[in-house]
Structure 1
């Protein structure tokens, strides 16, 4: 089950809001529909959002090419489209990384036709690079474990959130292939239940043993020594290692420290935002109150109840045992260690 596919100048997206009960695909023929899919969480997960945004810019360029604009006018109009796509969600840095990477081609191309070809090739490259990065992350992460363990994960950082096998779930899948997984505990992950709906479904399909728990059970599971490690994904990582991930990750990190359980972040280098000194500057998306006031149309609060609904929180680097990337693992991350890692790998 692929998160997305690019065919005949169309982007086909798996609608993740319908899973696991309905497998339905969205055919996007214009960039506005891709932006809407990103906003609605029909496509979600930082790496997948980045790839979808790159393809959205291709669709925008194809639309504009019908207007017979001069190259400079074309680029100006494309910039407007880029900004519209970028506005879909504020926290996942892969969205902005992919748009900057693709839009930068406007400075090296000379004609609209040349630019469209370059945009499409780059979008396909972003997709394929993520497939390969996921595999490397999985291998580096699995190597951290020398015996069979139980792992807790939060939200969904698997194939449904990426272009490949996943980041956090990529680690789990490779570890499972190496007979290192006893059980995976998946937090249900409020408010949209990405863990209960998506992670459990994905691991079940992959043959990985999985048990769903509610978010507020995690501490008790840790206390009873039912898990030996926590592995989660990320939406943005500051240069000192502070990490934004789905709301609830910070709570897990605090509990993990109390119970002396290592917490690992699994994410590609594209999820790092090296322009931010620390996590204080990471923008936190606040979503509609409706996502908490109801589940699949069934009310869960009194009518018009005020709701605070941040989609992400930030875990300080001091609570993180290691960041697993496609280039290796940054153990006990600090700004100095991450800088040295960048220099070593020329990132």
Structure 2
């Protein structure tokens, strides 16, 4: 998507140097800062510390991180060890595990001395597929918006939660891809962006929408229900970190509450995600691991000080007992439909298998 009118992706690979550049998303929205990853440890830290966020981007970064780790040659032990380091960084986003499993499957068929080149090629393929799949999600989602527009020129009001735009992927985004498709097609669209505490990923959504010229309004998380009740929301769309075989959806904590408010107000609640987010081996949402993150993410508030420098302000004593779950699970019956690169389907096992019949029996 665009930054200052310039088409930009979240990740830049340099195979000849065996490094990648990423946008350090912990510095956004205050500063656009690129970081070069040169080692396995740096790639793992980038994922764990949320310098890269969003399930699809985490998967792509992990794939490149494995390529970085292999060097000029890699036996099976080295390959497995490097993959284990990356796999341990984030438990909930299934794209991470999907990408690493795909990389290992391909690389184990290649002689050790050829694995470096093969790893970079496969990582690039994963990244390019992510871009194409997200663009397709945008076009499928755009067709849904047409059913919500009742008069020419009427503004379509969409609400989202967390960041599922191009910053969460290699490009285009998942939940925001249909928004960008509508905007680029000339459909008047406005986005209600919830702040998404405590990591405030909604600020990243607002930043990227501003860069692309999409009208939007940032709101406190707790304002979402009031806006729905007041008739100011036509639809809610979110991304996902894992979708179980029955259509249950794990996404940023707070998503479930928005889905409940949608149900109470007759507002469609959509989930957008590529194939890599679908976990057909996971029966339902009860089997999805929920990441518990460091309590200081809640105890401290990050921003800029009076001199414009990054700073942290303590809002709770260091010893205050807090819970900081990163995700929640929205049951399938609250989801109007799931939008993937193959089309739109009901949030059910039958619906998902209709799009992905090859996964039957997993």
Residue of structure 2 in register with 1:308 after alignment? 323
1:309 to 1:345, Cα distance in 2 relative to 1, 3 A:
closer
Whole-Å separation in 2 of the counterparts to 1:318 and 1:278: 12
Residue pairs, 1:24-173, within 5 angstroms:
24-62=33-71, 65=73, 74-109=75-110, 111-146=111-146, 147=149, 148-173=155-180
Match of 2:119, SS state, is: helix
Query: SS of the counterpart of 2:96?
Result: helix
Encode CA deviations 1:62-117: one digit per residue, 9 max, x unaligned.
Answer: 17x3xxxxx6xx211220110111000000000000000001123311x2232222
Return the offset for 1:140.
0.3
Tell me, yes or no, if the aligned pair for 1:152 and 1:229 is still in contact at 8 Å: yes
Q: Distance in 1 between matches of 2:113 and 2:28?
A: 38
In structure 1, distance between residues paired with 2:295 and 2:257: 21
Count, aligned residues: 336
State the distance in 2 between where 1:181 and 1:277 align. Answer: 39
| Distance of 1:58 and 1:135 partners within structure 2 | 26
Instruction: State the shift of 1:55 in Å.
Output: 0.4
Q: Distance in 2 between matches of 1:250 and 1:174?
A: 26
TM-score (norm 2): 0.90
Q: What is the correspondence of 1:295-334 to structure 2 with a 5 Å cutoff? A: 295-296=301-302, 297-330=312-345, 332-334=346-348
Following TM superposition, by how much is the alpha carbon of 1:345 offset from its aligned partner in structure 2, in angstroms?
9.5
| Secondary structure class of the residue paired with 2:177 | helix
Q: Is the 8 A contact 1:145 1:180 kept in 2?
A: no
Quote the residue 1:284 is aligned against: 290
Q: Deviations over 1:263-292 (max 9, x none)?
A: 000100110000011110000000000000
- Tell me the equivalent position of 1:68: none
CA distance in structure 2 between the aligned counterparts of 1:239 and 1:76, rounded to whole angstroms? 32
**Out of 11, 16, 19, which is 1:10 matched to?**
19
The offset of 1:344, in angstroms, is 7.7
Find the aligned partners of 2:188 and 2:71 in 1 and give their Cα distance.
46
> Offset at 1:181?
3.8
Q: By how many angstroms is 1:340 displaced?
A: 2.5
> Quick one: distance in 1 between partners of 2:79 and 2:163?
32
Q: Is the 8 A contact 1:134 1:326 kept in 2?
A: yes
Per-residue deviation, 1:2: 2.5
Q: Mind listing any 5+ residue stretches in structure 1 that lack a counterpart?
A: 66-70
Alignment partners' CA distance in 2, 1:126 and 1:291: 31
Tell whether 2:194 aligns with 1:187. Answer: yes
**TM-score normalized by the length of structure 1:** 0.94
The within-5 A match list for 1:235-254 is: 235-254=241-260
2:347 aligned counterpart, secondary structure: coil
The runs of 5 or more residues in structure 2 that have no matched partner are 1-7, 150-154, 303-311
Q: Indicate the structure with greater helix content.
A: 1
Superposed CA offset, 1:99-153 (max 9, x none): 00001123311x2232222111110000000010111000000110122410000
- Give CA-to-partner distance per residue, 1:14-51, whole Å, 9 cap, x none: 10000111111111111110110000000010000000
Deviations 1:281-308 (A, max 9, x none): 0000000000000111101223321110
CA deviation after TM superposition for structure 1 residue 182, in Å: 3.3
Q: For 2:96 and 2:318, how far apart are their aligned partners in 1?
A: 34
> Which consecutive segments of 4 or more residues in structure 1 shift more than 4 A?
344-347
Q: Which SS does the other structure have where 1:192 is aligned?
A: coil
> Residues 97 and 313 from structure 1, CA distance in 2 versus in 1: closer, same or farther, beyond 3 angstroms?
same
* Cα 1:113–1:181 shift into 2, 3 Å: farther
